[in-house]
Every structure is written in structure tokens, then in C-alpha cells.
Amino acid sequence: MGLKLRIYWFNKKTKDFSGEEYSKDLGDDDFLIEETISPKNENIINNGEFELKKEWINTIQKHVTHKIEPDKYTYFIAFDYQ
């Protein structure tokens, strides 16, 4: 059990929930947090969701099978320790 990325998305036109996916288990490595959110002295694991920024898409896409389509969907990510 370890850290997982959770991504979920909403249809931009209807605002309806469209899907959710978890990454594979990343163990205790928080490299993905540092490459995206890069928090300053705060623990974000199991502590909030963040709107996916365009500059994070290439990094996040490597860890999920859903094709990220920012023109169609609004995305949020979270980091969960399970």
C-alpha cells in the first residue's frame, strides 16, 4: 500500500461527473507531487483536491490510461495514501 494519484473529470458543457481513475501504487515516492503541485511545507496527501493545470498534463498523463482532454473536461487531481 502506498501513494496513488486520483484523477477525476467533469464534462465542461453539462458540468456532469464523467469519470475517475487511480494510478498504480507509487509506493512511498512523492516525486509526482513535487513535479506538479510542489507544496511548500504542507502535507497534501489525503488532504484536498487540485484543479489540473495545463503544464501538469504531460506528467500526469504518464500515470493514467484515460486520455486527458482539457477542451472537453475539467479535471481535478488528489494524492491518496491507501
Task: Give tens-digit pLDDT for 39-68.
Answer: 655 555 656 788 999 999 999 999 999 999
Q: Which of 41, 45, 43, 44 is nearest to 81 (CA)?
A: 45
Asked whether 21 and 68 are in contact (CB, 8 A), the reply is no
What's the pLDDT score for residue 79? 85
The count of structural domains within the chain is 1
CATH of the domain at 27: 3.10.50.20
How far, in Å, CA of 13 to CA of 10, rounded? 9
Strands (DSSP E) contained in the chain are 3-11, 17-22, 50-51, 73-81
In the structure, what pLDDT confidence band is assigned to residue 6 with cuts at 50, 70 and 90?
A: very high
Please tell me whether residue 32 adopts helix, strand or coil conformation. Answer: helix
Domain coverage including residue 15 = 3-81
What predicted TM-score, i.e. pTM, was given to this entire model? Answer: 0.82
Q: What is the pLDDT of residues 14-35, one digit of tens each?
A: 999 999 999 998 887 777 777 7
